[in-house]
Amino acid sequence: MLNRYPKFKRNEIEDYYNKKSVVLRSTVQDYLQYRKARGVTSERKIADIRRTIIQFHYIFQKDYNKITLKDLREYLALLNTSYLTESTKNNVKIDLKNFLKFIFSDWSDRFSGLEDIRLNGNGRNEEKINSKTIFSKEDIEKLMQHETKIYWKAFLMVQYEGGLRTIETRQLKWNDIDLNNEGEISEINIFATKTQKARSIFVKEATFYLNKLREEQENKEKSDYVFPAKKNINNPVGKNSVNIWFRRLTERVLGRRGWNYLLRHTRATELYTLAKQNKIAKDTAIAFMGHSEDMSNTYTHLDSKEVKKMLKDQVYKTREIPEEEKNKLEQDLATLKKQFIDYVTENKKQWENMRESFPSIIKK
């Protein structure tokens, strides 16, 4: 077992894998086939799982079938104190749990029911995604104002307004867009590698910047990609390039480091909030975001003030009454009260008169 969690260099894991035995490679392939049979269809997810389980072998420094409970606990101690984010740690733990169940038929007895594998927090990395870290409308406007390149302006607005995953934005092609030349609503066709489903989204603000970007690219070597890589236009812009650009932009403009994927969370929060306010149908938010089910609990990052306002508007329906209107209501109430007393007093006199006139009919 290594004495610290390693930081892997580019291609290090792949080089390590290629040098190992046929037995190891066969085990890896068998497990990946098992995960595909269990419903994991995304090639990107399969690649992530493959990389993670090879890392297990690298860190444990022994064959998979020789891992003991002591090894597992030492590994978890390394993982919990590693440099990885809480979200990544949780993903690794899930993969580890699934893998050990696959390798060992007696996993429950061997690893004490795998009770040591516990996720950190709620698995959604709330320190990274909450009402204080997602962006406001004003934040988006500031970022757009301070970004000088049409390329990045278009990228930011497309991802935000379209509520796209970063990989969906990076891999967007011009053929996927029915671009409106007059600046009105444009349709973008998306195939989500995560859900393996196609959907259409509609953008308006982004249309202007997409038109500008296309004009800018007219005099250059053409690429199928809307956001091609700088060094090779036959490839989409790289993940690291996007992350570095956005991190620097948010630090410079907002004074805090922003995570690019938060643009999707921001848009989802806006749409699901509108659904909670009954301003749009919840199905509209679900379809736009490309979710397979209602994800409002995950994507609605409301702070306590917003929750209080929503309760007042939708449940209690309270509102602040202007002083002038309040005085008028008090006067109207006083008038109604006087009219009621006068009515009761008058009818009481009539009742007394009737009782005196017809004592045999109306008894006391």
Residue 108 lies in a domain: yes
Please state the rounded mean pLDDT for residues 98-122.
86
pLDDT (tens digit per residue) in 111-130: 988 888 887 764 444 445 55
Q: Residue 165 has what pLDDT? A: 85
Structural domain including 89 reads 12-114
pLDDT (tens digit per residue) in 127-155: 455 556 778 889 989 999 999 999 999 99
Together in a domain, 342 and 213: no
More confident of the two residues 298 and 241 = 241
pLDDT (tens digit per residue) in 205-239: 889 999 999 999 988 888 999 999 988 999 999 98
Q: What average pLDDT is seen over the chain?
A: 80
Q: Residue 257 has what pLDDT? A: 85
Residue 2 lies in a domain: no
Together in a domain, 53 and 193: no
Together in a domain, 59 and 103: yes
Together in a domain, 30 and 106: yes
Helix 239-254 crosses helix 150-162 at what angle (to 10 degrees)?
90
Q: Residue 175 has what pLDDT? A: 94
HEC string for 143-212? HHHHCCCHHHHHHHHHHHHHCCCHHHHHCCEHHHEECCCCCCCEEEEEEECCCCEEEEEEECHHHHHHHH
Q: Residue 194 has what pLDDT? A: 60
Residue 148 lies in a domain: yes
Together in a domain, 324 and 306: no
Residue 240 lies in a domain: yes
CATH number of the domain to which 43 belongs: 1.10.150
**Domain total in the chain:** 3
Q: Residue 204 has what pLDDT? A: 86
CATH number of the domain to which 237 belongs: 1.10.443.10
Together in a domain, 327 and 306: no
Together in a domain, 44 and 171: no
Question: Is residue 26 a contact partner of residue 103, using CB atoms and an 8 Å limit?
Answer: no
Together in a domain, 72 and 155: no
Residue 174 lies in a domain: yes
**Of all helices (H) and strands (E), which one includes residue 79?**
helix 69-80
Kindly report each contact of residues 131-137 with a partner whose C-beta sits within 8 Å and lies 24 or more positions away, as own/partner.
131/301, 131/302, 131/303, 131/306, 132/303, 133/256, 133/258, 133/259, 133/262, 134/262, 134/265, 134/266, 134/269, 134/301, 135/160, 135/258, 135/262, 135/263, 135/266
What is the residue type of 166? T
Is 80 exceeded by the pLDDT of residue 46? yes
Together in a domain, 178 and 160: yes
| pTM of the shown model | 0.50
Together in a domain, 98 and 163: no
Which tokens hold the place of 363?
């008894």
Together in a domain, 155 and 293: yes
Q: Which one of 266, 288, 310 terminates a domain?
A: 310
Residue 280 lies in a domain: yes
Residue 6 lies in a domain: no
Please state the rounded mean pLDDT for residues 181-194.
77
pLDDT (tens digit per residue) in 53-76: 999 999 999 899 899 999 999 999
Residue 121 lies in a domain: no
| Range from 21-25, 182-186, 273-277, 299-303 carrying the lowest mean pLDDT | 299-303
Together in a domain, 304 and 220: yes
